[in-house]
Structure 1
């Protein structure tokens, strides 16, 4: 089994740069697939899941920060 990338240790800026990188790579992979030049079709699925993992981590951090801050009401 492949080692998963740990997004929990990354800063928010690193997460933003990684998500931009993965989205660009996903776009390029999609273009290659349309042209019939794709080497590893599973890579597209891996990119999609990594993007979802990053978005999940960002949402988890957002909710944790909101829970830690006292309610303004």
Structure 2
């Protein structure tokens, strides 16, 4: 589950710098990257839009506008139409 992955990472980190270093990520990665990453994972996991927006503390319209293209179903009808 996405929330348990993020919770585990956040719980183990004393600071964002330690977390970034422990994960082997570039130093420019900041905590501000976590929300968009989480939104992307939730959309890729096809989580209900209302549940995802509530979890993220984000307006559902903003979530749809910025992240719906990550949903597996986003281009499903277009793909079917093209065969």
| TM-score, normalised via structure 2 length | 0.33
User: Greater Rg, structure 1 or structure 2?
Assistant: 1
Relative contact order (alpha carbons < 8 A, sep ≥ 6): 1 or 2 greater? Answer: 1
